[in-house]
Amino acid sequence: MECGLLFSAGKDSSLSALLLEEFYDVTLVTAHFGITDDWKYAREAAESLGFDFVSVELDAETADAAAERIHEDGFPRAGIQQVHEAALEVVAAEYDVIADGTRRDDRVPTVSRAVAQSLEDRHGVDYVAPLSGFGRGAIDDLVESHLTVESGPSETIQKGDYETELRERIRSRWGQTAVEDAFPDHEQTRVTGRG
């Protein structure tokens, strides 16, 4: 069966791909807004892992709504969640099985059982989250043994997650200070291959 897995080039979505590859015909799907070309880093990572890759562009309204929400909230959680759900809707229209890298201990994005069942019922797909039964320790061990990664602060590690473009959108509308106010400094990781 054809599985579209939302992919950011990060550890969680990469490890999810490895968990599913024996069971589905997996395509890695990076959703973006056309604001930057950072989705190309995700394509590079997908190639290094040996998976098919497609990028899909979400509409500008989704980016604007999320940027406004993040700017108002002062933190990115709810805005990122909105974008993730919009991306799942797009992927659900194209594949038999849709998947993402959400983990047991994730705060965002999360996909509740109700959201999962709604996606499945409306689109006639199955939604699978292969890491949702794995905690941080188990995931760290599997990443260590199966992936090669590079890491650093958000500003320097370029990958294909929603954050980069939302930061850019917020910067263009409200300036660099607004970005720094809403996005805490945190370590980002990009996957560079198996190993």
Spatial contact of 4 and 99, defined as CB atoms under 8 Å apart: yes
* Total interface residues for its own copies by CB under 8 A: 28
Query: Segment contacting its own copies (CB under 8 A): 50-58, 59-67, 96-104, 165-173?
Result: 96-104
Give how far Cα 108 sits from Cα of 82, 102, 146, Å. 10, 8, 24
CB half-sphere exposure, 126, CA atoms < 13 A: 8
User: Looking only at residues 133 through 172 of this chain, which bind its own copies when binding is defined by CB under 8 A?
Assistant: 133-135, 137-138, 141-142, 146
**Cβ–Cβ under 8 Å, residues 86 and 62:** yes
Asked whether the CA dihedral 42, 190, 46, 113 is positive or negative, the reply is negative
Residue nearer to its own copies on the CB measure, 65 or 138: 138
- Shortest distance (Å) from residue 137 CB to its own copies: 5
Contact at 8 Å (CB) between 138 and 168? Answer: no
Q: How far is the CB of 94 from its own copies (least distance, A)?
A: 17
Nearer to its own copies, 29 or 147 (CB): 147
- Kindly list the residues in this chain that would bind its own copies in the complex (CB under 8 A): 1, 18-19, 22-23, 97, 102, 104-105, 113, 116-117, 120, 126-135, 137-138, 141-142, 146
